[in-house]
Amino acid sequence: MLLVPGFMLDADLWHEVVPLLTEYGHGPATYADLAKDDTIAAMARRALADAPPSFVLVGFSMGGYVAREIVRQAADRVSALILIATSARGDSDVQRQRKAAIAGQTAAFKGLSRSAVASSLHPDHADRDDIIVRIQAAGQRLGGDVFRRQSLIERRDERDHLGTIACPTLVIAGEQDQLRSREEALELHRGIGGSRLEVIEKTGHMVPMEAPQRLATIMGQWLDQQPRG
């Protein structure tokens, strides 16, 4: 299994999920490193270089873009695809303006603010220090250079190309994800033939940290239904 994290996150994103998946008999886990490259394509190449010959591919948020690029580069190695809290849309005008502002900044990176992290969570989890501290710690481990690189990455609109994905695919959305809308999850589901869509209740964007047990159960049960190569 190859697990791909999101923006300013690392392998700790999956800390609670992987042991639960192991109980379902799925693993071992390999973790993609998105910290060293400045394009989606380069991230995918690096992940493939470190991955086993064939694998179940799991992409979270920005990692979903990387995961789909991995499928494009090496479809024969991906036995199944799981996309969590992600999208196939390209950068909006607002996002392009934000990137331009970041490109012109010279101030030192001070880490991810508590308010920004809390806004990515379900309202019931906005005061969960255990999750907020973990996300902020990942930001500190990765640092300012990675923040800048990942902030400036171009995300292309892939909605017209989703039909090229032929492997079994599961799309998972958080019920109250304020960063990725339900419509974006539906676009993935409708665009990828034969895919399945699951919505996890009482979660925001950070599904692997907010609901690891429910996420692992959905993933494990779906993977049990797929043919094993």
User: How many structural domains is the chain composed of?
Assistant: 1
Signed CA dihedral, 154, 33, 116, 122: sign only: positive
- Is 37 contained in some domain? yes
Q: Which amino acid is at 83?
A: L
pLDDT at site 99:
73
Phi, psi at 78, each rounded to 5°: -100, 115
- Is 144 contained in some domain? yes
> Given a cut of 90, is residue 98 above it in pLDDT?
no
Cα 104 to chain centroid, rounded: 27
Give the residue among 86, 85, 81 at the shortest CA–CA distance from 192: 81
- Is 177 contained in some domain? yes
CA torsion 139→143→147→149, rounded to 10°? -140
pLDDT band, residue 6 (cuts 50/70/90): very high
Query: pTM of the entire structure?
Result: 0.94
- Is 229 contained in some domain? no
Give the residue among 137, 116, 99, 138 at the shortest CA–CA distance from 6: 138
What's 49's domain CATH number? 3.40.50.1820
> 45: domain range?
2-224
Higher-scoring residue by pLDDT: 100, 202: 202
> Given a cut of 60, is residue 83 above it in pLDDT?
yes
pLDDT at site 91:
83
pLDDT at site 80:
98
Rounded mean pLDDT of 44-52?
A: 97
